[in-house]
């Protein structure tokens, strides 16, 4: 087991969500009430993202490929902490999966996702994720399942477009008239064929043909 010692200066300079998590863990280890139970209403706190909110976040960031890759990392199966209802993802694994050059870029993408979520969730202090000082990104199980649902839906849509490439072009287009093999009006379609000759051919053509071959 590896232990990490943080100085008071490091704790004070840590992001609010990290300080909150540290305080919660210390209080729980001492058998005290978690600090989050009595924290101020405007303090930053980890909240769950619903499937509808996850889709809305995806719609906001879908034009930024690196951010999209990081977003779907939150839908992977992480280290589940059952008693807390959260999932923890190793930042090193996320960095490797997304092929980003460094941790700074990864955190920047996470911050873009978090800002998009805050814009949609409309709750002061709501945080989609918490960065653990041991190198983990922590989200709620609800968020993980919601992001996974968006990923599953997108994969299904991509497979549909691959199998039926014209399906996307037909969306919203007027229905194509049905091809009827017969007429109900008593008229003969110009494109119809009778013994190799179009019905639309002038009747004189057949008379001329009989005149040239009187024996027939």
Determine, yes or no, domain membership for 151.
yes
Show the low-confidence residues of the chain (pLDDT under 70).
1-44, 80-84, 165-216
pLDDT of res. 4: 63
Looking at the domain assignment, is residue 200 inside a domain? no
Q: Write 173-178 long-range contacts (CB < 8 A, 24+).
A: none
Cα–Cα distances (Å) from 166 to 52, 156, 170, in that order, read: 28, 16, 6
* Residue 75 located in a structural domain: yes
215 part of a folded domain: no
Q: What is the pLDDT of residue 176?
A: 47
For the chain, what is the domain count?
Answer: 1
Q: Is residue 216 part of a domain?
A: no
* Domain membership flag for residue 203: no
pLDDT value, residue 20: 65
Residue 123 neighbours by CB distance under 10 Å: 11
Residue in 38, 71, 36, 76 with CA at minimum distance from that of residue 57 = 71
- What does the radius of gyration of the chain's CA atoms come to, in whole angstroms? 33
Q: Which domain holds residue 161?
A: 8-167
Question: What's the pTM?
Answer: 0.56
Q: Give the per-residue pLDDT at 183.
A: 44
Calpha distance 89→91 (Å, rounded):
6
Is 28 within a domain? yes
In a domain, 180, yes or no: no
Buried b (16+ CB within 10 A) or exposed e, 125-143: bbbbbbbbeeebbbbbbbb
């Amino acid at each position: 087991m590896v232990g990490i010692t943080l100085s008071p200066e490091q704790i004070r300079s840590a992001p609010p969500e990290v300080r909150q998590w540290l305080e919660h863990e210390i209080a729980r280890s001492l058998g005290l009430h978690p600090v989050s139970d009595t924290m101020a209403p405007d303090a930053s706190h980890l909240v769950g993202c619903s499937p509808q909110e996850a889709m809305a976040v995806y719609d906001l960031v879908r034009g930024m490929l690196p951010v999209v890759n990081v977003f779907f990392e939150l839908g992977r199966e992480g280290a589940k902490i059952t008693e807390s209802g959260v999932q923890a993802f190793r930042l090193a694994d996320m960095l490797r999966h997304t092929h980003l050059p460094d941790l700074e870029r990864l955190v920047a993408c996470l911050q873009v996702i978090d800002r998009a979520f805050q814009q949609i969730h409309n709750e002061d202090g709501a945080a989609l994720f918490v960065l653990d000082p041991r190198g983990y990104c922590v989200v709620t199980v609800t968020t993980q399942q919601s992001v996974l649902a968006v990923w599953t839906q997108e994969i299904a849509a991509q497979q549909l477009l691959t199998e039926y490439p014209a399906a996307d072009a037909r969306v919203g287009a007027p229905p194509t008239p049905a091809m009827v093999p017969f007429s109900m009006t008593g008229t003969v379609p110009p494109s119809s064929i009778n013994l190799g000759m179009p019905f639309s051919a002038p009747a004189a053509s057949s008379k001329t043909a009989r005149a040239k071959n009187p024996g027939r």
